[in-house]
Amino acid sequence: MTFQRARTEEQREIRRRAILDMASAMLDEMPVAAVTLNELSRRVGLAKPNVLRYFESREAVLLELLDRYVQEWLTELAGELVAGIDKDLPMPERAAAVAEILSHSLSGRMVLCELFGAQGSVLEHNVSVEVVARYKRASLDHLTTMAALLRTYLPELGENARLFSLQTVVMAGALSAYSTPPPSLQAAYEAEPELARFHLDLKGSLKQALTATLLGVLPRR
């Protein structure tokens, strides 16, 4: 893929989308830590300084990609909740359904969960105040959207819906690190099965964590 110099805003937007699309394709092949600006530049057909005209750093690319993934996920989550929850059920059954749907939905999006896990420790570093503030404003909007979705089926969450939404993505990110061990750790688990206690099934572990969290924030009746 090669590009001529972008001269219009439309052309610049095409470049930005191409960079994001290539970064997304790379994440289908490799973990977040392996995505480098040099390799991204090579694959997208732009010199590294030219990529930096559109995104100030590797982390800025991944933050914008995370924002895209969250928007897509929330759109799909809305349909999954509609299809999976009867709003007339008692609260404990609706809460169990929410935990099941969230854990199933997120565990099927491993790249999203890995990006959640890298967000605070990696992605929000090496970016300007402007970039990280823009990302955080978008994240607040996403939390508001997610909280509204959850309150549709669990109105009992009330003001705790946004906190529970944040806890959900934080737990998904943290637990994903224990569900996809690198080759050396996988080999260690196979050599010493006792060590495999640290290898978690993301869906089951997340469902258990979400259920426990809901028990803590929902009113007891």
The pLDDT of residue 2 is above 80 = no
The whole-number pLDDT of residue 43 equals: 95
CATH topology of domain 58-217: Tetracycline Repressor; domain 2 (1.10.357)
Mean pLDDT of 174-180: 94
pLDDT tens across 88-135, in order? 999 999 999 999 999 999 999 999 999 999 999 999 999 999 999 999
Task: Report the C-alpha gap between 136 and 185 in whole angstroms.
Answer: 34
Q: What is the 3-state secondary structure (H, E, C) of the chain?
A: CCCCCCCCHHHHHHHHHHHHHHHHHHHCCCCHHHCCHHHHHHHHCCCHHHHHHHCCCHHHHHHHHHHHHHHHHHHHHHHHHHHHCCCCCCHHHHHHHHHHHHHHHHHCCHHHHHHHHHHHHHHCCCCCHHHHHHHHHHHHHHHHHHHHHHHHHCHHHCCHHHHHHHHHHHHHHHHHCCCCCCHHHHHHHHHCHHHHHHCCCHHHHHHHHHHHHHHHHCCCC
Give me the residue spans of the domains in the chain.
1-55, 58-217
Contact 37, 48 (CB under 8 A): yes
The whole-number pLDDT of residue 52 equals: 93
pLDDT tens across 54-95, in order? 999 999 999 999 999 999 999 999 999 999 999 999 999 999
pTM of the model: 0.90
CATH of domain 1-55: 1.10.10
The pLDDT of residue 212 is above 90 = yes
1-55 shares its CATH topology with 58-217: no
